[in-house]
Structure 1
């Protein structure tokens, strides 16, 4: 059939467009092409990590990522055009680009589907960002209908699986958003954008949409499992350094100690009571009035000799960290210097009034302003005063409050504030990354004798590289809030940031007007502390009432004794905890582990939001409902009273694939079923996975009191097991130079043989000879009160390999 001229012209044009759309070129790290008025570039950062860039045709993209520290690598790959698809294969994955629609799909090397973009899923909408012409950017994906995904930062929603939800991702006090999720299928996706972002998941699609972007940029990574994905994320955005051993002990704080005598007295009281303690924290207003906000000096006369205060804490074998903020009062030296370089932002922040009274007196505005941490000179100024006023007198670490930062009664125009890197809107969510990073980098440059430790209220992708432990913000005390902390911390950890904690007991006590006199609150506090025993930092803190152990009675009182018992348990687990932290640094592991990390094949474990693994051996099942209070009517009044006469229980699911041992009684259970555990006020369900090798440390009053030269080693049979016992100088960065030691412990379950490997490495002060007391836990009944075992087999070890038949 002969075409008429008009149709012939259309056919020629269509053929030209298709051929143009299907052209592509190789680059050093992948390919580049143009499809449907978009430029698409695919870059390989490794065999497992792919960077995708999409731009409107004719636009350029030269962004230097704030989160990503990795660089693209040349990898062995094949590129083959098959019809309208371009298939790029390497040793781990296959990436398929639809040359007609521009949609990208991801597969395993063997061809199993992982993730695909939605056809026509990339959207660029012109946007004026404070006078700069840019775009709203969106990319949509298609997930399997029953696919479990995790991550997206920390949210107070109680959800474990992050499906069927919509999030407005802007950092806040109790919500830390990270535009990253990972799938039970073993892949992860990081949306590298810092502006306010919408995440939505519905039956049709899953998408990220950000307010500001010169282009779309995201990273796809395939790790095979959750640990593998986290390893990819850390290789992309930075490794987590070691914290000092003392950070893993017990920490006491409150809002706030009002004098140096009060603060030093708390440490002294703990020592007198024989209750272990490693640190105390000084909250705000040590600088004086609000016009001097965050002066980073002790200008409050109640702190009459700051150097002596720090020395007094140190002389009691404790450490001290202190509150610092990301804003400054108008009478501070920092404010004046920052104002001169245009590094202060103009929006409402805390505190609003110069008066300390509540509510704020708006007739006397504080004038406090947030600084610009994106500005290198501003970060220099910040550290100059932090070093001069606090680090120089021996403060051990930093409590960076309001690191999101506080943005009160926010208006859209506030985001027009100019920062060193453009509008505040463009870089909004990276604020915590930049301010925490500034402190870390400056301290590391100045000193290697003390490891950086930063407790911070907010985080963004990559923050694990800056020695930061994030807490969940100023949460309100309630049983529901306690329960929500579990899934919040787990999803946060699944984003690759391994250190997280919460205010034990909740920050605000609004629901409990009786404060510590309320028996339900006392029970809540004890249960929260029991949960906190198995978090990367065990820290008691809050407003409205003090939280020191002696506020809950005396020895012999149930609350006091339960608190003391779990603090001691924390210290007995320090060899396990510190070795697990080395596993984080050396092997990209995680301390708080959602069940999907170790039991992805057990579908019953995937959506449990009130259990987790602490390290790879301990299954923790916190009690998150009241059990021992009841309402009593006296005349016309009703009172809540404690009732310990009837012991209550909690049900726990034990994942399939192994045996489980009750930590308290040593009773053994098969996995893949639910079990009931009696939970008096001083017990929560804790189970040890078969194959675990659990080192138990000495009884101490602080973490470094005794060397680990005499350890009980508990072996839980039923599965082969291994554990690497790690030791170093407990502080400083010499471990990065190889100055540390590891001892590999192995259990052969069939042969019933325990092998202690050759010691690898050394460090000053290392015990040359040590005692291991080996206890095979299948025949050792336990005492729930003291967690003691029958004496095991005593082995003297001098660093050379030896095997023992048990």
Structure 2
């Protein structure tokens, strides 16, 4: 039967079935019927029931549509899974990203001709029983997203001897619809439309096959093989090299925060990071001895510049044949325990690099190789010699480990625990977690991992290796929060205590600007912790390195941006990046760097409370302007501004403003343009001047000023000047009120570095500002924890042009002694 006639046949069958049923009822009621006629009617009704093209399940339905089977499963009122596969085939799949079990969801399932409608309290899914097309509608019946007609495609594929398919699914988006997410790339794009994206993890791009729409929904394509995302004004498509089925999740949300909340409900929530991770971090490629590394920390302490951590980069293990031995085998690190203890004695933390591969002379290599848990792909380093360029006639023999294998992940942790964690190392810099992969030979992708071919699971590698470290450390102790800095990510990685950076980017003004949209789209993919190498990793465009005055300006501007990222971390190759490399106190660049490091620390109460909001309420640190001002279409495609938390608008300077600088020309005042979103008033953080939203203004931006604006109604806690995050308690805080609207803020505190908060050991103090009454209400404290401040002082400032300027307020409006009870302050 031709495809176009199937629907007509079904409609006819349904009509005849209905007529037969009604006739049967009349005959039974009359009591006059021949037995033979009754049997015929029953047989016809039974036949029409058997031919129903769908079956109800506990979670939804399975339908047989032409040559494709379709299953629709409700995971909640707001999350729906759609799977499709060719008739006559079968598959078994356990998602690597999705950890949510389906909830029992009340559904109404109705058939209307050849359309099947499934309704929850939040959305409706419509299935065309003729062609298998799925459409998603809001609770009000508005079409949110629809598959393209005949948009599902299955092409036979031989995956290293396993018969499977290449799969593709197309969708129809509104022509002007803005979508975001898909991980991070270096393209400077905010809206992810009208492009083709080849999604395979690499050094400077992490791909997450998830996007969300400004209309209020998200779509997660649950596939780990190399995937192409393509979009035009007509059709949007995910196409994956390997897939036993098409498998995706639709999630409904009223706004971007709600969609992110659904994505995290599906793939995992965000644990709290230690307080010390939100301070300032110094690194370079590389510190070559324990004396040098400790000396950097000591120098910061002598200068009085705040610092919370130092990062030890590679080759502390010795030669490339000992690559990633997870032990200090280089003679320049003769006393590892003293090394770690010396850093801790200076009230700093240390994280250290570990890789996804091992040299042939390491213990890990031998044990993993014996179990068949090493992959045969070309990776870094290619030479056993550390000389540059690599001497390929002396191959390193380094091999990537099979992170898909649970036993391999345990072996990895065993050596990490014995060699480094036992010394008191505070966190892990997991480099090359994409992993590094050269040549890309067909046989590389044919390699049989624990979960099938490398091709099948390629993009999920970072999720597996990062997850292995997180889970194993959690099993060892709950006294120390897991912190992982990593170069690659995949959907669900937010549940593993990992902060992803954008890889080895090249220093330039364009690169700096591109980091903003990269971080925002990564956040909109559901993963909130992100950062970049402050100053850029490679200095290829600045041959004079730090002697180049333009680079020094670029570095200062990148520091300013870094102060308003989830992690503030300076790093790079070819030249050191410590503050004292940029002059001395009293010089423009040095002072600008120091100013923003200090500002970062003054904002720690705000940042740490935002961290709790991320964990407890599925919020985000870096917020694209469309997240809070979606009704203002002017912000939809702004790629160089964002909200940091829900109060601070950040507008990084991303172009050279002092290219003619010589002999003090930094004193020249330059300006930059800032768009203030409609729907709020905005106060200049540096001057206290208030502006109406919905317009572009010019802001003077000398070398030490990055435009910052505070949303009206914000309540901003300002902490003390410190040398490291936990140096002083928060018994005395400045509470800044930015008038112009009602507002609220919750100050969060806990023990800073353990998992006791999971058992309720934390406190919250809720502040509310009433604009019309000019009152600040400080609610009774909720909760408690060991070491909590029972009494404290809040120095309240209502910000205007005469006070609350920049980091230091000149006038305190009221000083409040707070003992945990509700207090109302009239201002």
TM-score, scaled to structure 2: 0.94
Q: Is 1:737 aligned with 2:737? A: no
Give 1:4's aligned residue: none
Q: Is the 8 A contact 1:21 1:34 kept in 2?
A: no
Give 2:31's aligned residue: none
SS of structure 2 residue aligned to 1:413: helix
Q: 1:181-200 counterparts in 2 under 5 A?
A: 181-200=211-230
Distance in 1 (CA, whole Å) between partners of 2:81 and 2:138 is 16
Distance in 1 (CA, whole Å) between partners of 2:51 and 2:638 is 47
| Displacement after TM superposition at 1:203 (Å) | 1.9
Q: Which of 510, 523, 537 lines up with 1:493 in the alignment?
A: 523
Q: 1:605-616 counterparts in 2 under 5 A?
A: 605-616=635-646
Distance in 2 (CA, whole Å) between partners of 1:554 and 1:792 is 36
Q: Is 1:154 aligned with 2:148? A: no
Deviation by residue 1:438-485 (Cα, 9 ceiling, x = unmatched): 000000000111000000000000000000000000000000000000
Q: Which of 144, 162, 166 lines up with 2:174 in the alignment?
A: 144
Counterparts in 2 of 1:773 and 1:25: CA distance versus 1, 3 Å: same
Give 1:658's aligned residue: 680
Q: 1:35-434 counterparts in 2 under 5 A?
A: 35-434=65-464
Distance in 2 (CA, whole Å) between partners of 1:641 and 1:294 is 47
Give 1:770's aligned residue: 792
Larger radius of gyration: 2
Deviation by residue 1:485-544 (Cα, 9 ceiling, x = unmatched): 000000000000000000000000011010000000000000000000000000000000
Counterparts in 2 of 1:524 and 1:21: CA distance versus 1, 3 Å: farther
SS of structure 2 residue aligned to 1:657: coil
Q: Which of 537, 555, 579 lines up with 2:585 in the alignment?
A: 555
Deviation by residue 1:180-201 (Cα, 9 ceiling, x = unmatched): 0000001000000000000000
Q: Is the 8 A contact 1:148 1:162 kept in 2?
A: yes
Deviation by residue 1:249-305 (Cα, 9 ceiling, x = unmatched): 000000000000000000000000000000000000000000000000000010011
| Displacement after TM superposition at 1:571 (Å) | 0.1
Counterparts in 2 of 1:680 and 1:23: CA distance versus 1, 3 Å: same
Give 1:23's aligned residue: 53
Q: Is the 8 A contact 2:11 2:114 kept in 1?
A: no
Q: Is the 8 A contact 1:355 1:364 kept in 2?
A: yes
| Displacement after TM superposition at 1:13 (Å) | 12
Give 1:685's aligned residue: 707
Q: Is the 8 A contact 1:772 1:795 kept in 2?
A: yes
Give 2:506's aligned residue: 476
Deviation by residue 1:171-229 (Cα, 9 ceiling, x = unmatched): 00000000000000010000000000000001220000000000000000001100000
| Displacement after TM superposition at 1:413 (Å) | 2.5
| Displacement after TM superposition at 1:21 (Å) | 8.2
Counterparts in 2 of 1:272 and 1:83: CA distance versus 1, 3 Å: same
Give 2:18's aligned residue: none
Give 2:782's aligned residue: 760
Q: Is 1:671 aligned with 2:693? A: yes
| Displacement after TM superposition at 1:787 (Å) | 3.6
Deviation by residue 1:54-102 (Cα, 9 ceiling, x = unmatched): 0111222320000000011111111111122111111100111111111
Q: 1:392-791 counterparts in 2 under 5 A?
A: 392-630=422-660, 643-778=665-800, 780-784=802-806, 786-791=807-812
Q: Is the 8 A contact 1:21 1:36 kept in 2?
A: no
TM-score, scaled to structure 1: 0.96
Distance in 2 (CA, whole Å) between partners of 1:607 and 1:12 is 45
Distance in 1 (CA, whole Å) between partners of 2:664 and 2:219 is 48
Distance in 2 (CA, whole Å) between partners of 1:509 and 1:271 is 28
Give 1:802's aligned residue: 823
Distance in 1 (CA, whole Å) between partners of 2:83 and 2:664 is 60
Paired residues in the alignment total 790
| Displacement after TM superposition at 1:731 (Å) | 0.5
SS of structure 2 residue aligned to 1:564: helix
| Displacement after TM superposition at 1:760 (Å) | 0.6
Distance in 2 (CA, whole Å) between partners of 1:768 and 1:15 is 75
Distance in 2 (CA, whole Å) between partners of 1:16 and 1:534 is 60
Counterparts in 2 of 1:641 and 1:89: CA distance versus 1, 3 Å: farther
Distance in 1 (CA, whole Å) between partners of 2:5 and 2:279 is 74
Give 1:637's aligned residue: none
Deviation by residue 1:604-660 (Cα, 9 ceiling, x = unmatched): 0110000000000000000000011228xxxxxxxx887324211000000011100
Counterparts in 2 of 1:732 and 1:18: CA distance versus 1, 3 Å: farther
Counterparts in 2 of 1:12 and 1:135: CA distance versus 1, 3 Å: closer
Distance in 1 (CA, whole Å) between partners of 2:804 and 2:218 is 42
SS of structure 2 residue aligned to 1:778: coil
Q: CA RMSD in A?
A: 1.6
SS of structure 2 residue aligned to 1:231: helix
SS of structure 2 residue aligned to 1:742: strand
Distance in 1 (CA, whole Å) between partners of 2:144 and 2:616 is 28
Q: Is the 8 A contact 2:798 2:804 kept in 1?
A: no
Distance in 2 (CA, whole Å) between partners of 1:346 and 1:381 is 19
